[in-house]
Chains A and B, each alone.
Chain A
Amino acid sequence: AAGVIQSPRHLIKEKRETATLKCYPIPRHDTVYWYQQGPGQDPQFLISFYEKMQSDKGSIPDRFSAQQFSDYHSELNMSSLELGDSALYFCASSSKGLAGGRGETQYFGPGTRLLVL
């Protein structure tokens, strides 16, 4: 079965550079979530989209932005990168429509490991 796809899997950037992470949800999933997991830390919610509209916002820095496109894939744009942005960035997808919008299961991608030097 198709899973959540993230690209790239690994990314090395320097301080003050920009990065774009991509997430392709499971087919027919309408919701995408972004999480940041620092070394040895639990995942922290960044932002989510439902039907191409932002549905929830967590601890996402102002330097970051994200959007969901018409094909439901999502991109996380990160500018003015800082050393502290080095982390594993997970994308997850779910289907609110099918689940009736109550605590539906989120399926995670493999993550993009970002290293800022």
Chain B
Amino acid sequence: AQRVTQPEKLLSVFKGAPVELKCNYSYSGSPELFWYVQYSRQRLQLLLRHISRESIKGFTADLNKGETSFHLKKPFAQEEDSAMYYCALSGLGDSNYQLIWGAGTKLIIKP
């Protein structure tokens, strides 16, 4: 079964500290993994996708197929990083491209 697990509902770190938001997935095949961010009262925005291997706003994520993980990392947290972060997986069925969502992690950056 396709499943995305974000084990932490809330993560609170101090400004300048490293951040790691965990994401594990279950999928039989080659998944497409994404991180979406939702700032307070704003729309969901794509933060990054594993296939592009870009670093957005200082965040990076590496797909580890052995551990079936796609953890989101940033070396130095900033206050404006406070938001909800969702890990998502794209199904690769015939025409099934819906995103399978993790439950989200609320990141709070303390000053």
Chain A residues within CB distance 8 Å of chain B: 31, 33, 35, 41-45, 48, 50, 55-56, 58, 90, 92, 94, 96, 101-111
Tell me if B13 is interfacial: C-beta within 8 Å of chain A: no
Tell me if B56 is interfacial: C-beta within 8 Å of chain A: no
Given A42-B102, A43-B44, A43-B101, check contact A103 B95 (CB 8 Å): no
The stretch from B15-23, B45-53, B67-75 touching chain A is B45-53
Tell me the nearest residue of chain B to A57, going by C-beta.
Answer: B98
Tell me the nearest residue of chain B to A55, going by C-beta.
Answer: B95
Q: Do B44 and A103 have beta carbons less than 8 Å apart? A: no
Given A45-B98, A48-B98, A50-B95, check contact A103 B43 (CB 8 Å): no
Tell me if B40 is interfacial: C-beta within 8 Å of chain A: no
Q: Which range contains the number of B residues in contact with the other chain?
A: 20 to 34
Q: How far is the CB of B81 from chain A (nearest CB, A)?
A: 19
Q: Do B98 and A103 have beta carbons less than 8 Å apart? A: no
Q: Do B99 and A106 have beta carbons less than 8 Å apart? A: yes
Q: 0/1 per residue, B23-46, Cβ < 8 Å to A?
A: 000000001101010000011111
Q: How far is the CB of B96 from chain A (nearest CB, A)?
A: 5
Q: Could you say which of A33, A42, A105, A109 contacts B104, with CB atoms under 8 Å apart? A: A42
Tell me if B103 is interfacial: C-beta within 8 Å of chain A: yes
Tell me if B92 is interfacial: C-beta within 8 Å of chain A: yes
* 20 new A-B contacts at CB < 8 Å, known A45-B98, A110-B43: A35-B99, A41-B103, A42-B101, A42-B104, A43-B99, A43-B101, A48-B97, A50-B95, A55-B96, A55-B97, A56-B96, A102-B32, A103-B31, A103-B51, A103-B90, A104-B97, A105-B34, A108-B44, A109-B43, A110-B42
Q: Do B43 and A108 have beta carbons less than 8 Å apart? A: yes
Q: Do A101 and B97 have beta carbons less than 8 Å apart? A: yes
Q: Do B45 and A108 have beta carbons less than 8 Å apart? A: yes
Q: Do B92 and A103 have beta carbons less than 8 Å apart? A: yes
Residues 77-111 of B contacting A (Cβ, < 8 Å)? 86, 90, 92, 95-104
